[in-house]
Amino acid sequence: MLSALEQYDPQIYELIRQEEARQSGSLRLIPSENYVSRAVMNATGSCLTNKYAEGYPGKRYYEGQQVTDLIETVAIERAKKVFKADHANVQPYSGSVANLAAYNSLASIGDTIMGLELSSGGHLTHGSKGSITSRIFNSASYTVDPETGLLDYDEIEKLAKKLRPKIIISGYTAYPRKIDFKRFGEIAKEIGAFHVSDIAHISGLVVAGLHQSPVPYADIVSTTTHKTLRGPRGGMLLCKEEHAAVVNKTVFPGQQGGPHMHTITAIAVALAEADTVEFIEYAKQIVKNAKRLAEKLMEYGFNLVSGGTDNHLILIDLRNKGIPGKKMSKALDRARIVSNFNTVPGDTASPFDPNGLRIGTPAVTTRGMREEQMDEIARFIHAIAENIDNEAVIEKVNREVLLLCSQFPVPDHFILPGKKVLHPLSS
């Protein structure tokens, strides 16, 4: 596939090759990232990128939909099956617009939405100050308990009764523990609010039955498709039949034009992959790996928000180490360990230079790494923290990481960093 690119645009070809080498030659611990399969990659790069398909299967605004209708229907049916949902809309371009469409389906401009505050692990689009969601809606927020790092459902209920939001949002971007979606559903019902659940991070775990599903307890469930679900970059909405029409209308024509059919095609492929025993085993290993990594990090004296993890994600509070999050993530990056700096509950520092570090195990688990390798990764992170200004140690860890990566190639499209590979993505 890339041979034409190499010929016609060697500059971009070379940059893609470099990015592929970076991805295979580093430990990618950003919890929202993963490696898709060759099949998903093929679908993403297919001729479906050429097609406009405004509307929905059977009701389009352009001709030539003989195949697109079938593909989108397959994607919808697969989504309904794996998530046990009445209705699925696979058109949102991303999680952000999926969330906006969920709110716009259930609330009007100026209504109150209530989500978890950014520094507690909520997402920007859950009503955070910098997001358009806080300008369209009146945004209120709950927090985690700053001592435990955990959601306090009684407090959330009290706040909901006081503020009477139109929508309560559950589901987070940096929360390492299980979420009681049923309780959120009850709180919302009690005050006559809608419940929107954003499971972008944990959707793969939900499909695998490792986390309670919000589908029975939420009016609309929103997710991205590229995190633990391991599909292409995209978004999706799931809901009960009663909201199906308004959700569809809000996505198109409400917020979007033509759906990205190549992405929808790849989502269909990823959903078939997720509907397998292998995927369930993969998801189980993600959680086992995260738990092991968390244990080892704590043995090295790292403070973890909430004292550990139940899912794929670990949030390290670096304050006891005296290392700012950004300094740590940059040092790790120099050692080929890719993470992201993150706020921690009660963080008074700026989100651009906060006191935490967020890591996770979906991508390294895709490479086949298991508990033993988590021990090594914890040792690497510890070594960097202890030698944050020592470039010789960082360089030594860099070499060890490269060795580990070479032992766990990225399935199906591994290339050695620095080596010339002619067609890394072609079969």
Distance CA 95, CA 102 (A): 10
Q: What Å distances lie between residue 159 and 152, 155, 163, 196, CA to CA?
A: 11, 6, 6, 17
Report the SS3 class of residue 21: helix
Q: Could you confirm whether 54 is annotated as catalytic?
A: yes
* Shortest distance, position 96 Cβ to ligand DSN, whole Å: 7
- Answer yes or no whether residue 343 interacts with ligand DSN by CB under 6 A: no
Look up residue 98 and give its two tokens: 């999926």
Q: Could you confirm whether 198 is annotated as catalytic?
A: yes
Distance CA 1, CA 8 (A): 12
* Shortest distance, position 316 Cβ to ligand DSN, whole Å: 15
The residue (of 123 and 296) whose beta carbon lies closer to ligand DSN is 123
* 214 class by beta-carbon count within 10 Å (0-12 exposed, 13-18 middle, 19+ buried): buried
Provide the mask over 208-227, with x wherever binding to ligand DSN is found by CB under 6 A and - wherever it is not: --------------------
From 44, 143, 224, 343, the catalytic residue: 224
Decide if 299 contacts 143 (C-beta within 8 A): no
The torsion angle over the Cα atoms of residues 85, 142, 122 and 140, rounded to 10 degrees, is: 90
Q: Could you confirm whether 219 is annotated as catalytic?
A: no
Report the SS3 class of residue 247: helix
Q: Which of residues 162-181 bind ligand DSN (CB under 6 A)?
A: 173
Report the SS3 class of residue 168: strand
The residue (of 25 and 95) whose beta carbon lies closer to ligand DSN is 95
Q: Could you confirm whether 61 is annotated as catalytic?
A: no
Distance CA 294, CA 315 (A): 9
Q: Could you confirm whether 371 is annotated as catalytic?
A: no
The H or E element containing residue 302 is none
> Residue 21 carries which side chain, given as an amino acid letter?
A
The count of residues interacting with ligand DSN (CB under 6 A) is 4
Decide if 224 contacts 237 (C-beta within 8 A): no
Q: Are strands 112-116 and 138-142 parallel, antiparallel or unpaired?
A: parallel
* Shortest distance, position 183 Cβ to ligand DSN, whole Å: 23
* Shortest distance, position 260 Cβ to ligand DSN, whole Å: 17
How many angstroms from the chain centroid is the CA of residue 51? 27
The residue (of 32 and 213) whose beta carbon lies closer to ligand DSN is 32
The residue (of 8 and 352) whose beta carbon lies closer to ligand DSN is 352
From 72, 117, 198, 317, the catalytic residue: 198
Q: Could you confirm whether 224 is annotated as catalytic?
A: yes
The residue (of 19 and 155) whose beta carbon lies closer to ligand DSN is 19
* Shortest distance, position 223 Cβ to ligand DSN, whole Å: 11
Q: Which of 25, 92, 95, 232 binds ligand DSN (CB under 6 A)?
A: 95
Q: Which of residues 27-66 bind ligand DSN (CB under 6 A)?
A: 32
* Shortest distance, position 30 Cβ to ligand DSN, whole Å: 6
From 78, 177, 227, 326, the catalytic residue: 227
Mind telling me the catalytic residues? 52, 54, 198, 224, 227, 233
The residues of the shown chain that bind ligand DSN, judged by CB under 6 A, are 32, 95, 123, 173
